[in-house]
A and B are shown apart, each in its own frame.
Chain A
Amino acid sequence: MTIDWSQFTPWSSLAGGILIGISVSVLLLWNGRIAGISGVVGGILSRNRNELAERIAFIAGLIIAPGLVWMILERPTVQIDSGIPAIILAGLLVGLGSRLGSGCTSGHGVCGLARLSVRSLVATLTFMAAGFITVYVLRHLLGV
């Protein structure tokens, strides 16, 4: 392992993390809901239509955030290296897996760990390990 110092952004990443912590805290403090993205989106898709307006408002916030940043500051950096088949496969896996496992990086990784939930800790370690292994296999064994 070598650390890529040229890409290392500890302060902006920490500050961004703090904003995410504030966001999930605001939703819990006032609305009493867990800000798990896969759960919020999944709830819109399923027949369980309670709090539909709230769910849509939360997702709308996520979607308009980059436009506001672009208008006020600069265009957000989004670099996508994957081809179309990889994107489709990845999207299907992320959608299916996050619903089956009842959460993703936000629901288990942030909110679950802030709740000190062992179940979320196990989920987080599992999906992080799967992510590390997948990148290892794709980049270093298959050379994709």
Chain B
Amino acid sequence: MRILIALCSGLIFGFGLILSGMSNPVKVLGFLDLAGQWDPSLAFVMVGAIATAIVPFQWVMRRQRTLLATTPQLPTSTQIDKRLLIGSLIFGTGWGVAGFCPGPALVAAGAGMPLAILFVVAMLAGMGLFNLIDKRFMNA
């Protein structure tokens, strides 16, 4: 059951990314290019997604129970530290270089685009690099 839910959620997420235009890096870069010919569309993606999710999220957070009667696993950290800021800076820089963030990259790779597949491989390498750094320096 949980696996089926996860598959459906991934599918709907993918459809959303395609319909919204987020899975198209040229469109994402058009949104990030404030000084050029700006395409504000992707602000509508964020607004639509957050406005839809906010009520179910607040409901689950208050209830602390899922519809399958389990306890939801929600992030507990509220700390704004160097890791969060440096990580977000690095991520945003990479996003601005090619117009891909993780979800759209997986969708574009699924569409069979060779450069998107290359991006996903590099992204996995970047995550692997994080695991190495994390193990070596941060939890020592």
B37-51: contact bitstring with A at CB < 8 Å (1 yes, 0 no)?
A: 111111011111111
Closest chain A residue to B96 by CB distance?
A134
Contact of B14 among A4, A46, A66, A122 (CB under 8 A): A66
State whether A119 touches B84 (Cβ < 8 A). yes
Specify which chain B residues have a CB less than 8 angstroms from the CB of A1 in the assembled complex. Answer: 34-35, 38
Count of B interface residues, CB-CB < 8 Å: 117
Specify which chain A residues have a CB less than 8 angstroms from the CB of B24 in the assembled complex. Answer: 76-79
A30-B5 CB under 8 A given contacts A20-B16, A127-B92: yes
Instruction: Tell whether B97 is near chain A: CB-to-CB under 8 Å.
Output: yes
CA gap between A18 and B29 in the complex, in Å = 21
State whether B54 touches A114 (Cβ < 8 A). yes
Specify which chain B residues have a CB less than 8 angstroms from the CB of A18 in the assembled complex. Answer: 16, 48-49, 51-52
Contact of A21 among B49, B77, B96 (CB under 8 A): B49
A2: min CB distance to chain B, Å: 6
Interface of B is mostly: helix
State whether A93 touches B83 (Cβ < 8 A). no
Specify which chain A residues have a CB less than 8 angstroms from the CB of B17 in the assembled complex. Answer: 16, 20, 62, 65
- In chain B between 1 and 51, which residues have their CB closer than 8 angstroms to a CB of chain A? 1-27, 29-30, 32-42, 44-51
B60: min CB distance to chain A, Å: 5
Closest chain B residue to A106 by CB distance?
B103
State whether B92 touches A134 (Cβ < 8 A). yes
Specify which chain A residues have a CB less than 8 angstroms from the CB of B79 in the assembled complex. Answer: 119
Specify which chain B residues have a CB less than 8 angstroms from the CB of A54 in the assembled complex. Answer: 2-3, 6
A20-B13, A97-B126 given; name 11 further pairs at CB < 8 Å.
A21-B49, A76-B23, A78-B111, A92-B125, A93-B93, A95-B127, A101-B84, A101-B91, A102-B87, A130-B95, A139-B33
**A-B CB proximity, top 3 nearest:** A61-B10, A95-B126, A16-B20
Contacts from B to A (Cβ < 8 Å):
1-27, 29-30, 32-42, 44-54, 56-58, 60-61, 66-68, 70-75, 77-80, 83-103, 105-113, 115-116, 118-131, 133-134
